[in-house]
Amino acid sequence: MMKPLAQAAAYIQEKSNLVPKVGIVLGTGLGGLAEQVTAEAVLPYADIPNFPVSTAPDHAGRMRLGRLAGVPVCVLEGRVHYYEGYSMQEVAFPVRVLRLLGAETVILTNAVGGINRDYRVGDLMLIRDHIKFFNDTPLRGPNLDALGPRFSDMCNAYPARLRTLAREIDGALHEGVYAYMPGPCYETPAEIRMLRLLGADVVGMSTVPEVIAAAHAGLAVLGISFVTNPAADLTDQIADISLPEDAKARFYRLVCGVVEKLA
């Protein structure tokens, strides 16, 4: 696995000598943030050797290297998901490439359903912890010793210092637990009631494999969830994942502020 990762990183480095301090993965509907990056290179995923290509709606499938708030960043406009048919290793591949490019921190964003009864559409939640149910993991198989240890710790996967930094920018942020479900179908009302009993505040179909790979490779993670709809037992409506413009503007301000402080 290290050879395909190294090939991808080498290709990217041929196109740009920028060393990103921060990697940013943009979830569904959040790609507009990339427009605020002063780009040195924009690379379609399909052009990068071994890189998985997004097939989900609203995932542009481009890597943008440049500066955001004056800080060198690598922005992934969209991700791949396990439900698309990719393996866990393929889902984690882009985050591992970010590590090889030199990133120290990754900001992982996503659109989620709100399980917590106090959450409303447009709210933002910092991920404090997660719940993962199904067995597969990007760490299954031979360990990538060049990236991290065979048995990696998940107690500090979402460092409190990054959440504190984010709350300095936006004091109204929620903070809670993300439940990872495989998708692509949404959860049943019974599944949502189960997740709420277990302490989950939001539910989504991404991010956690990336967090596992990031923690293994020593990357600090800030997870930001954008509540797009109430979860299944709180509504009888089909999930609508369109994002309010004012809430997106708030999200963009938050990410730009965090990146600037990380400098």
Q: Is residue 153 part of a domain?
A: no
Tokens linked to 198: 């277990």
* Tokens 């990056």 found at: 37
Res 232 pLDDT > 90: no
Preceding omega of 142 cis (within 30 degrees of 0): no
Residue 125 is predicted with a pLDDT of 98
What is the mean pLDDT of the segment spanning 152-174? 96
pLDDT per residue as tens digits for the range 115-134: 999 999 999 999 999 999 88
Give the max Cα distance, the chain.
51
In a domain, 145, yes or no: no
**Mean pLDDT rounded to a whole number for the chain:** 93
Q: Which helix (H) or strand (E) holds 223?
A: strand 220-230
Work out whether the CA dihedral 148, 149, 152, 156 comes out positive or negative: negative
* pLDDT tens readout for residues 40-90: 999 999 999 999 998 877 778 999 999 999 999 999 999 999 999 999 999
Closest by CA position to 79, among listed 206, 184, 181: 206
d(CA 114, CA 24): 23
Q: What's the CATH number where 254 sits? A: 3.40.50.1580
- Tokens at residue 229, please? 């709809």
**Beta carbons of 200 and 84 less than 8 angstroms apart:** no
Question: 208-216 and 88-101 helices cross at what angle (nearest 10)?
Answer: 50
65 belongs to a structural domain:
yes
Domain that includes residue 194, residue range: 2-138+158-262
pLDDT band at 28 (very low <50, low <70, confident <90, very high): confident
150 located within any domain:
no
User: Three-state DSSP class for 128?
Assistant: strand
Domain assignment present for 146: no
Residue 216 lies in a domain: yes
Residue 100 domain-assigned (yes or no): yes
Is the model's pLDDT at 183 over the cut of 70?
yes
The total of structural domains in the chain comes to: 1
pLDDT at 138 over 60: yes
What is the predicted pLDDT for the residue at 244? 74
Answer yes or no: is pLDDT of 240 > 60.
no
pLDDT at 57: 74
The model carries a pTM of 0.95
| Residue appearing with tokens 């309010």 | 244
Q: Would 149 be classed as within a structural domain?
A: no
